[in-house]
Structures are given as structure tokens and as C-alpha cells.
Structure 1
Amino acid sequence: MKELFLIYKNEIIYTTIIVVSLLIIQFTMKKAAHRVGKQSEIHISRTRLMLKYINILVSLIAVFALAFAWGIGYKDLSLIFSSVFAVIGVALFAIWSILSNVTSGIILFFSFPYKIGDKIRIHDKDAPIIGVIDDIKAFHLHIINDEGELVTYPNNLILQKAVSLIKKDVYLDEGKDSL
């Protein structure tokens, strides 16, 4: 065991530094997401979604950094990641709308002026929607219309349409069960 540590001493030290640094960065980013969520009164489920995105980002950075620390060369690493990104790129091109909705979900987390419980009107000329925001997911909004139906509306479209606030915090006024 001692010989193993002596052989890989630098790699183990670099790994320790990388792991500690990334844990500090992850902790800081999660605290910032919680602070933004609290200050903006964002529902906890949306904050948890941002925490998942932070975990994915930190994991990808960890893979890159640890690969360099353990001596995988730039050429080898670039070959592996260019191949992986080529396959991912083709797959994402095939499902670009999903990527668009996830990106819109991130934008909505930070800048959407309406909250869960607000009654809104989406000014869509083909099918206008009036209802209460029940939940904001990664891909779409859940809206309960006046007839009590659940309407899912894609996040990328909510950023493209005009939205009016009819009444703030309907759930607080009437109770969620009354819808």
C-alpha cells in the first residue's frame, strides 16, 4: 500500500485538491441557488431542479479535471470527448425541442415573473389559455384552466408568447383544492 502511494503520490494529491475544490464550488453554487430561490420566492421543486443541474455540471468538470490529474493526455482526452460530443450532438439535433425546453426552464427559474399559484393568461392566437400555474417543470408548465383541466404548456413557448397576470397567488386566496 505504501509503495502504491509513493508511485501515485502526485496523482493522489491532485485528486484530493480537485475533489475538495469541486465540493467547495458545488456547495457555493447550491447556496447561491437556494438564496436566489428564497429571495425570488421560487417554489422548492424548481430550486431542486437547479440543484440537479449544478450536480451534473460539477460532475462533468470533475471528469475533465481528474482525467488530466491521472495523466490522460490532451490528444487522448480530446479524441474521446470529440467522439462523445459528436454522438451527443447528433442525438441533440434529433431532439432539439427537448433541449430548448430545458434551456427555457433554466431561464424561467431566474427570470419568470410569475409564481406557482398565480392566475395567468397566455395570449396565443390559436388557443389562448387562462388558468392557475400549478407547477413549473423542467420541460413545461402545468396550468389548471377554469374548467379544472390540467394543461401542459412547453417552456420554450411560454418565453415566446405574451403572458398577463390576472390574479396573484390564487392558491393562497382560495386554497388549492377548490380549483
Structure 2
Amino acid sequence: AALDAGASIVNDVWAFQRDPELAGVVARAKAVAILMHNRGHSGVDPTIDIMADILRFLERSIEIAARAGVARDRLIVDPGFGFGKSDAQNMLLVRELRRLEVLGCPILLGVSRKSSLGRLTSQAVAAERLPASLAAALCGIRAGASIIRAHDVAAHVQALKVWQAIEGAA
């Protein structure tokens, strides 16, 4: 229904693994799909190699997309910060984001206002986590994210401009 109404991006928090038929819908609409890693079905397991788990999961999702006819240039991968991961795993995935580049898709990072940041900073109120959100987003960009999902867009744009000027990328 959303695609029929003009949407051009499908954000699937199960990355075609709960509903593989969605990949066909995306292919027929020539839409872009965001494929997010989600351990929600398995729960948090702090003992696993989270980056290997993310890579395996997203590789499987990319295969589902390819079989359905979704072109790779229409896929975006999201490591799923906060979805079925421990706080330590969330921090690790930001640090090691560049490992996802082997998938050949843009990397989206959604860290804005996440509860993991709230626990780290002792900030229970989500709307008060802007400083933590900015720090995590900039670390993610440095580590390979090409797209940031944010609640406070103007603040993120401002922080990115300063960061780019300091880094010499502006």
C-alpha cells in the first residue's frame, strides 16, 4: 500500500527473512530496500561474534533480494544497532562498521536516541540523548556509515559540517 501511495523505500527490520515475498514486491516496484539485522527472534547473546552474525544475516538477505530480482544498487544495509544486541555489541558494531563494506551496499546507521546510549550515559529520557546520539553518529561515519538515521536532523547536519571541516572532508 505504501509503495502504491508513492513510497520509494521499504525499511524491513527483518531484512526479507520473515517475509521473503516482500523482496518480490520491492523488485516489482523498483524500490530501494533497507535490510536491517535483527536478533530479536534469538534474543541477546553476548557471547556471539556479533559482526560475523550481522554479516551472515545480511548476506542471506542480499541473496533473497537477488533471487527476487532486487538489484544490489537498490539495497542498503543496516546493522541494527539496539536490536537484539548487548550494549557492548552495539558499541563494537559501530567501531567495526567498515567490515560491512564487503557486502557492496551503502551502510545505514540508526543510533539516534537509542536506549543503549541512555544506559551508557545514565540518561533515561530518550529526547535528552542528543549529545550521545551525535557522538555515536560521527563515530559511525568515521567507521563507514554513509547514511545516518536521526531524530534531530538539524543538529546532526551541524555536527557533520563541523566534523567534515575538521577532518578536511568539507
TM-score normalized by the length of structure 1 = 0.25
> Of Structure 1 and Structure 2, which has the larger fraction of its residues in strand?
1
Of structures 1 and 2, the larger Rg is shown by 1
> Of Structure 1 and Structure 2, which has the larger fraction of its residues in helix?
1
